Amino acid sequence: MNLQFYLEKLFESDIFKKFRKENKDAYLCSGFFSIDRQGKDNQQHLDFYVPSEKKIFSIKLEKNIELAPLENYDERIPEKLKENLDFDFDEIENMIINKMKEENVNKQIQKLLFSFQNMKGKNFLIGTIFISGMGILKVTISLDENKIISFEKKSILDMFKIIKK
């Protein structure tokens, strides 16, 4: 699936049309995507910031489109994401698999979690990838450059060592 598929699904929905009509200043500010390779916990959320209300609304796209204001928002003004940006999650996963081979990470991907963000005018996917053997990959992908700019392998056991300290 690609980002444009989700955006088109959203833009064609009556719920979003009503939301946009009521919030003309709303803009896409972030997204969350969960791709579960072992189960069925796939999720897609797109978040829109409404400057006039100083609120973020999260729109779930799983089965039915659901709109909900975010609670406990720290009130910083999020940067605007491009709505015409397109990337394919299968291509992103292949990019990660290729990087895993380069780094000699011989594990299977179990679940991919991505946060879609704009930082300092550039678009990124920030990924936490759960792999077999209780491992985690922390990945940052520049969507403007279409490349991995940060890749780090961790173990869940490393996390426990940090917590103990």
Main-chain phi, psi angles of 2, to 5 degrees: -125, 165
Residue 57, domain extent: 3-164
Residue 32: predicted pLDDT: 95
Strands 122-131 and 135-142: antiparallel
Q: What is the pLDDT of residues 26-42, one digit of tens each?
A: 999 999 999 999 888 89
pLDDT more than 70, % of the chain: 93
Number of structural domains found in the chain: 1
The structure's pTM equals: 0.87
Tens-digit pLDDT profile for the chain (165 aa)?
Answer: 788 888 898 999 999 999 999 999 999 999 999 999 988 889 999 999 999 988 999 999 987 888 988 876 667 889 998 877 888 999 999 999 999 999 999 999 999 999 999 988 899 999 999 999 889 999 999 998 999 999 999 887 766 665 555
Residue 68: predicted pLDDT: 87
Helix (H, G, I), strand (E, B) or coil at 70: coil
Q: Quickly list H helices, the chain.
A: 3-11, 14-22, 89-102, 156-164
Residue 29: predicted pLDDT: 94
Residue 73: predicted pLDDT: 65
